[in-house]
Structure 1
Amino acid sequence: MEADHEVAPPNLADIDVSAWRELETAATSPQSGFRFLNLCSVDSEARPQARMVVLRRADGPSRVLEFHTDSRSPKWRELSTKPHVTVLGFSTQTRLQFRLQGTVELHAPGSDQANAAWDKLSPWTRTTYTGGPPGDECGFEMIDEAVLPKPQDDAKGKPHFGLLIFRARTLDWFQLRRQGNRRALLTYDETGALAACRWVNP
């Protein structure tokens, strides 16, 4: 059987194309290892904050990832003042880790961009924005899985629906292998073009 270390390393430009293809696939495939990503921000006291978010859209040529959030959430306030974030993902299927750094653009409820994204959501997904502000205290008696939100109430969530557009400036690509882990650092310019790439120590 051929060992991992005997396989020639892939071309860095090919790694870039493949990584973004993985992300584009993840945005439409619930089974993808990169469907849920870790969005890391910094709060007002300079403490790192991380949470899992659903990848809603990815565009390789522009280096863009799209996420949705409740505009009443703490992360919305954090990103409003400190838009520099890290997005981290790991796929157990491919044994790949992507760590992307860049900035987030916030599109508030009622904006053209947020409205367009809202219109594509299912009624069930829309109901997730109809409850109270994220992080507020909630009595346990309010948590009842047998009582589902009514589809006709989904419009109540629209005033809270915010859109996050993440633009990557770097991609730290890591491949976990039985022998000889591989890591590459890719940098993008303002237009999204690949500006530099190099192998680095894992």
Structure 2
Amino acid sequence: MDLPDIDASAWAELETAAVDPQSGFRYLNLCSVDTEKRPQARMIVLRAADRSARRLEFHTDTRSPKWLELSATPHVTVLGFSAESRLQLRLQGKVELHGPGSGAAGTAWDRLPARTRMTYAGGPPGDERAFETIGVAAPADEAEGKARFGLLIFRASTLDWFQLRQQDNRRALFSYDETGALSSRRWVNP
């Protein structure tokens, strides 16, 4: 496979993962820094991918520490690994935050199934919760969830593609300009 094919294949994997819950790249690590400049990593669900714009979309609760971290420092790394294909994708770029009331967040909210909307109606992420209430569904108001729903749009500036093989691991680096066009590509030592 040549470099342009590898780039296209990686983004096709991400586009598939956004609609296929069984994909190896459906759950990705979002790596950021907190307000004290300590590294933070968490699993997030890939909700949409667009290879032409080099864009990924994720959802979050705007009360979460993640939202505050990204507001202060929007430069992040997104890391995924598919055990089936033994492929690692590491993307670096910047996140745009679209909060409640924004058109982009409203459109994303409208596409969510009701069961997913309700996940934003509970208590703030990270707050203490009594063990006795775990598994007990509390009455929730969908409007409360919408008022806490945030959309994260990640735009990749680089892709580090790494293929684990029995022999001769492969690694390639790709860079993109501000429009998402491929600006450079090269093989590197794994």
Which residue of the partner structure matches residue 162 of structure 1? 150
SS in 1 for 2:144: helix
- Cα offset, 1:93, TM superposition: 1.2
Change (3 A) 1:149 1:13: farther
Which residue of the partner structure matches residue 7 of structure 1? none
Distance 2:117 2:20 in 1: 19
Deviations 1:33-83 (A, max 9, x none): 000000000011110000000000000000000000000000100000100
- Cα offset, 1:138, TM superposition: 1.0
1:42 aligns with 2:54: no
Which residue of the partner structure matches residue 191 of structure 1? 179
Distance 2:49 2:42 in 1: 19
* Structure 2 counterpart of 1:111, from 102, 127, 134: 102
Q: For residues 20-99 of structure 1, what are the structure 2 equivalents within 5 Å?
A: 20-99=11-90
1:171 aligns with 2:159: yes
Distance 1:119 1:31 in 2: 23
Contact residue 83 and residue 103 of structure 1 kept, 8 A: yes
* Structure 1 counterpart of 2:170, from 178, 182, 194: 182
Distance 1:163 1:104 in 2: 10
Which residue of the partner structure matches residue 129 of structure 2? 138
SS in 2 for 1:27: helix
Aligned residue identity for 2:177: D
Q: Flag the structure with larger Rg.
A: 1
- TM-score, normalization by structure 2: 0.98
Distance 2:42 2:101 in 1: 25
Say what the alpha-carbon RMSD is for the aligned residues. 1.0
Unaligned ranges ≥5, structure 2? none
Unaligned ranges ≥5, structure 1? 1-9
